Structure 1
Amino acid sequence: MNVISLRAFNDNYIWLIGNGHKAAVVDPGDAAPVLAALAERELELVAILITHHHQDHTGGVSQLLAAYPDAQVFAPAGERMPAPAAIAVQEGSRVLLPELALDLTVLEVPGHTLGHIAYYGNDLLFCGDTLFSGGCGRLFEGTPEQMHHSLSRLAALPDHTRVYCAHEYTQSNLAFCHAVEPDNSRLLTYMKEVAKCRQQDVPTLPSSIEREKAINVFLRVAQPDVRAAAEMFALRELNEEHAVFAALRRWKDDF
């Protein structure tokens, strides 16, 4: 089983999961790169996995179903369905794709949107716009408390879990992390690696849970240096982790 990044729009990634015969895609905002990749690799699309309702994650569903009408669509139960026959999934639901030997569990991770979900299994995490490398999604619908809880759940997954985020935001996210935590040696090393990738136009993803816990300030709100930086920005004492997160998110929004 291979996971391949397909670029869409300015910075989206659509993830194609294939085994040489069958394939699934995650968050196909645009059908064109998916159809091209399926044709090039002679793959049959059997499933479409949706993490949330935003158009840049769902816009290609109807065109893909027109080409592959037997493909199953899985989408969050708490959000509007991207297709009439979509299968609504929620916390604890299992997405079993025997054609790909794939067994994924649904995690509810509200914050970016209220019904946002992630798919986890086979040491893979497809997290949509909840977690980015070095960052997290904007709070369009949820609260800081919700997003902090969601990120904490993802951070508790095994360290070796590969993290497939939906956008190439890594370099700008790391610039913010450096502003918050300038003495993080692991972060400084990673920034150099990412700069080289971007110079070569190579994706910086997937990341890993272990890496994100070491460099992503939104997962490091309990660290004294991160809390101190957030307090300097907020101009007040922050006694709870979700308050530290909220200050960091406001800071990042205008960074």
Structure 2
Amino acid sequence: MPLIVHQFPCLQDNYGFLARDEATGQTACIDTPDAQAILRELDKLGWSLTLILNTHWHPDHAGGNAEIKAATGAVVVGPGEVEKLSPVDREVHGGDRVQLGETTFEVIETGGHTLGHIAYHDAADSIAFVGDTLFALGCGRLFEGTPQQMWTSLQRLAALPEATTVYCAHEYTAANARFALSVDQDPALRARADQVFAARERGEPTVPTTIALEKATNPFLRAPLLAAAMGVGGAADYEAFAAVRKAKDEFKG
């Protein structure tokens, strides 16, 4: 039976995710951006929480752990860096597996935004929860890692099957699209950007996305193709990525 994902907005621009294994009814929340919002959604749905799956340590991803664990008894699973905020019951690393009822998540190492960042991939249902590593038309800032580390992490995600549904943690897509159009003139990007702007005007989410869509239009995954225009022709792929990331950090549009 499938994994059911319930997505809802919280904080200023975060998304909360509740993932329910239909075979057993076991439920996980992916990160804890807003404890009260998550507890309200659980109550509304009548779901009991089994696991908290953290992607990284930032407060808008793990700040609700203690309150939610106290309210539900859920087991906290995540990278060791989450201990900066609150205890972790099970520390996981790339290659580990986490079981939610009959659903198996593979842990993917995706450091760069933070050093210990991870993602959770449910291959059977073609779903990935990627935190702040990959965004629709974007990627996370490099607060702790290097461009080479982040490029490697993005390539791990890009290697997933193209039909994989990608749940990223923030509604940044319109801003990402404006930047993308400043560095990439590809017609597929323009068409997608128009769709994104229209969706946001209607108040609709642009998350989730897919691996195929990001490979086709995300300037951070397309960085080697943009290298010459970025003034780094002949550079290593991660150096081309670094140039795109630097341009985004400085973008004022």
Please report the TM-score for the alignment, with normalisation by the length of structure 1: 0.92
1:39 aligns with 2:43: yes
Tell me what 2:229 maps to. 229
Whether the 8 Å contact between 2:21 and 2:100 is mirrored in structure 1 is: no
* CA RMSD of superposed structures (Å): 1.5
**In the alignment, residue 119 of structure 1 is paired with which amino acid?**
Y
Tell me what 1:196 maps to. 198
**In the alignment, residue 243 of structure 1 is paired with which amino acid?**
E
**In the alignment, residue 206 of structure 1 is paired with which amino acid?**
P
Tell me what 2:120 maps to. 119
Distance 2:178 2:184 in 1: 10
Aligned with residue 159 of structure 1, among 155, 158, 162: 162
Tell me what 1:131 maps to. 134
Please report the TM-score for the alignment, with normalisation by the length of structure 2: 0.92
- Cα offset for 1:83? 3.8
Q: 1:213 to 1:34 in 2, by over 3 A?
A: same
Distance 2:88 2:57 in 1: 15
- Cα offset for 1:125? 0.8
Q: Gaps (5+ residues) in structure 2?
A: none
SS at match of 2:224: coil
Distance 1:25 1:31 in 2: 10
**In the alignment, residue 180 of structure 1 is paired with which amino acid?**
V
**In the alignment, residue 250 of structure 2 is paired with which amino acid?**
D
Distance 2:179 2:218 in 1: 10
Whether the 8 Å contact between 2:56 and 2:81 is mirrored in structure 1 is: no
Distance 1:15 1:104 in 2: 15
Distance 1:85 1:162 in 2: 27
**In the alignment, residue 79 of structure 2 is paired with which amino acid?**
P
Sequence identity (%): 42
Whether the 8 Å contact between 1:75 and 1:81 is mirrored in structure 2 is: no
1:62 aligns with 2:63: no
1:175 aligns with 2:178: yes
Distance 1:190 1:23 in 2: 33
**In the alignment, residue 250 of structure 1 is paired with which amino acid?**
K
Distance 1:15 1:81 in 2: 22
Q: 1:237 to 1:185 in 2, by over 3 A?
A: closer
Q: Gaps (5+ residues) in structure 1?
A: none
**In the alignment, residue 110 of structure 1 is paired with which amino acid?**
G
**Length, aligned pairs only:** 245
Distance 2:49 2:213 in 1: 32
Q: 1:68 to 1:202 in 2, by over 3 A?
A: same
